[in-house]
Amino acid sequence: MFCEVYILDAPYHIDRPFDYETDGSHTRGTIVRVPFGKGDRLRTGVVVRLKDTPDSEGKIKPVHSAIKGRFSLTEEMLGLCLFLKEYTLCTFGEAVRTVLPPGALSESENIKLRRVCSLKLSRESCAALLVTTGRAGIRSEGQREIIKYLMDIGSADAELISALPGVTSAHIRALSEKGIIEISSFEEIRNPYAKYALERDDSPIKLSAAQTAAYSTAEELYSDTKPRAALLYGVTGSGKTKVIMKLIDRTLADKKTVIMLVPEISLTPQTVNIFCHRYGERVAVLHSSLSQGERLDAWRRIRRGDVDLVIGTRSAIFAPLENIGLIVIDEEHEHTYKSESDPKYHARDVAAYRAGKHSAMMLLASATPSLESFHKAQCGNYTLIPLRERYGGVSLPEAIIVDMREELRLGNTTPISDRLLKSLSEVYENENQAILFLNRRGYSSEISCKGCGEVISCPRCSVSLTYHTNSRGGKMLCHLYGYTDRVPKICPSCSSDKLSFLGFGTQKLEGELSKYAPDMTVMRMDADTTGSKLSYDRMLEDFREGRADILLGTQMVAKGHDFPRVTLVGVALADTSLYVSDFRAAERTFSLLTQVIGRAGRAKSGGVAVIQTFSPSSEVIRLACAQDYDKFYEGEIALRRELSYPPFCDMVTLTLTSGDERTLAKEAEHLSKAVISRLEGKYSGLPFVVFGPFEAQVYKLNDKYRMRMVVKCKLTRESRRLFHEVLCEFAPTKDSTLAVDLNPLTV
């Protein structure tokens, strides 16, 4: 017999199945070792097909061995890998490493064993050993201590016994060899969320009239036997989670399984607590902050069928559940659902694929849906399920726009307006809490020279260095690749000592708050303060417990949180993301402002949002303050239609990278000819609009220069074949590489 094997580390231009001889013991999905290339070096591969005759001519090499006792790919997982390969133009190996959990392909099984010691002899026999003298007795004090301990409690972990005074692992081993104790090994599941499942709360979910109407529509769709998709569109605080949980209850009652995706930023202890309390130990949580062992154990539990509900971030969409009935993507507009590394998939596309295979329901949920999803709902591809009022009759917060140009004219040069300061005082007097949002970390956004006008930039990237304070005085940091340097005393270009620190970030705002609101405790949450594994969770819990009056931070504080005592939200620079060079800038700004404003007034006491901006007449900011998504969509979709932007076309970026600018220029010219010649030749019937090559928005990144082409088209199997051919022609070399991203996050 023969089989086809994909080599997992094959480069894109030779990524295809190779024929090997097999003894019949290797089935589809088996992970194997095979000799590859002239040197017959052993490589890891996956069997994708069995056949009676090879397609290749000449001598066929045999499969060397299967990697026994390791993970294998099911039929659905194989299909997922092939789908990712075709849909995102990645290699099969990249797809496998995405579908399987980290560490699944290593030789080590990474199973944590718990060793338990118990007495093999009766209590009477053990007591006799302790009083017997001479060689027949137990003379070692450490061994005697172990026997006494086990006589009291029966059995105990070897790790616990080793911690007894005067006891070592050698004493345990000696007693085992003498046949006095027995050591049993059990697999220990590493589950950091097990504690949340100890107290169950399966009380009935009470829905408002609006929620009941939304649930009825969703349940009717769920009951259909065909694959279907819906968009649960509700204002912030409308109680979308309760509707989702009610639908999960229905799905689990039907003995089907559920995947629920949330953005990384929303996967807080509060979220996990809610679901684990309700669904107990049959919940698995998957996200990138788990250790490799924790992720492997969660994956094993899912694969064994011990789990009905998987909650997690983007990669949880690949959870190996059987009989899926429902896939939920909460906050579906979030950019973190799109992978920026190969395979560059969007979780929404994979969810649609899996829902189709299982005849399941895909439910998207958001207060600010992506324009692509809302357009599909308007066109009837998704069923629109609206929730237009806040739960419990709570009003939307009052939004106040503050013109920071007027503040400057009145002499206020601080990042805190008089209106925001007054609102903070009211929060303190009423013993409430506030969230302040600034989407820029650090102290000053740039350091420039007043003498020559030069801005100090990163030597590895074409971006300015950000000034950060610390206990040693401060440093300059590149936020793209982490380059750091000390702050110079003179300008590196002209040696002038007239350096100025421009702009402000969360560090400076924190300092200003300590001056102007000294009685209020500030907790800063950004990438500089949440470096450890649990710091983010701990800070949120501390704020919930009232250990700070103000939670100040970047996007980490803007979305997915529900703090009943927060009555004020302040936005320091509402227009920072509005004027970037990207067609999605308005959509992102509207979504971010709507979400952060929605953090205020989620209890009966109501709330206020103070939005500081240098563009107070901006329609985007005004509509976000009014929480009027429908009006925003109406204007933005008309603009997209007029300019032929998604969802009315697909966008593809082709990015060339090289460490040498001259090589890059030559390759860019070559790329342009390769694309255009195909469009004018065998693919002339396809609608394409091509821009570039031109310098990428960040031209230099980590000592590599980048040129880019942007293509507007309609992605089909045929158009993907064109980009596949281009990728094969531009095989990576030591001098340059080509990357293709279909519908990227930024253009």
| Domains of the chain, first to last | 2-99 (3.40.1440.60), 113-187 (no CATH), 194-393 (3.40.50.300), 398-443+504-640 (3.40.50.300), 650-742 (3.30.70.600)
| Selection from 302, 303, 306, 293 nearest residue 111 by Cα | 293
Over residues 422-442, the pLDDT tens digits come to 999 999 999 999 999 998 989
The set of residues, in sequence order, having a beta carbon less than 8 Å from that of 579 and lying 6+ positions away, is 585
Look at 202-206, 316-320, 393-397, 655-659 and tell me which has the smallest mean pLDDT. 393-397
Look at 87-101, 359-373, 575-589, 687-701 and tell me which has the smallest mean pLDDT. 575-589
CB 49 within 8 A of CB 3: yes
Alpha helices in 397-480 (DSSP H): 404-409, 418-429
The pLDDT value recorded for residue 69 is 59
Report residue 14 as tokens: 């030779």
Q: Is the pLDDT of residue 727 over 90?
A: yes
Residue type, 253: A
The pLDDT value recorded for residue 471 is 65
Better-predicted residue by pLDDT, 195 or 609: 609
DSSP strand E in 158-291: where?
Answer: 181-187, 228-234, 257-261, 283-286
126-139: average pLDDT: 82
The pLDDT value recorded for residue 529 is 86
Helices 141-153 and 169-177, interaxial angle, to 10°?
80
Over residues 243-301, the pLDDT tens digits come to 999 999 999 999 999 999 999 876 777 788 889 889 988 999 998 888 889 999 999 99
The set of residues, in sequence order, having a beta carbon less than 8 Å from that of 439 and lying 6+ positions away, is 554, 555, 573, 576, 577, 592
CA–CA distance, 336 with 100 (Å, rounded to integer): 19
The pLDDT value recorded for residue 487 is 92
| Selection from 63, 57, 72 nearest residue 36 by Cα | 63
Antiparallel, parallel or unpaired: β 650-658 and 608-613: unpaired
Over residues 628-660, the pLDDT tens digits come to 999 999 999 999 999 999 999 999 999 999 999
Length of the chain: 747
DSSP H or E run through 97: helix 92-99
User: What is the band of 138 on the pLDDT scale with cuts at 50, 70, 90?
Assistant: confident
User: What is the band of 70 on the pLDDT scale with cuts at 50, 70, 90?
Assistant: low
Over residues 578-604, the pLDDT tens digits come to 888 889 999 999 999 999 998 888 776
Q: In the β-sheet with 550-553, what is the strand arrangement from edge to edge?
A: 398-403, 608-613, 566-571, 433-437, 550-553, 522-525
Over residues 83-126, the pLDDT tens digits come to 999 999 999 999 999 999 988 887 677 788 889 999 999 989 99
Q: Is 281 helix (H, G, I), strand (E, B) or coil?
A: helix
Helices 535-544 and 269-279, interaxial angle, to 10°?
80
Report residue 601 as tokens: 């007034």
161-165: average pLDDT: 92
- Sign of the dihedral through C-alpha 32, 186, 177, 139: positive
User: From the CB of residue 694, how many other CB atoms can be counted at a distance below 10 Å?
Assistant: 12
299-309: average pLDDT: 94
DSSP H or E run through 31: strand 31-36
CA–CA distance, 569 with 400 (Å, rounded to integer): 10
% of the chain beyond a pLDDT of 70: 99
Q: Is the pLDDT of residue 44 over 80?
A: yes
Tell me the helix, strand and coil percentages in the chain, rounded to 5: 35, 25, 40
Compute the CA torsion angle 528, 533, 535, 541 (nearest 10 deg): 140
The set of residues, in sequence order, having a beta carbon less than 8 Å from that of 57 and lying 6+ positions away, is none
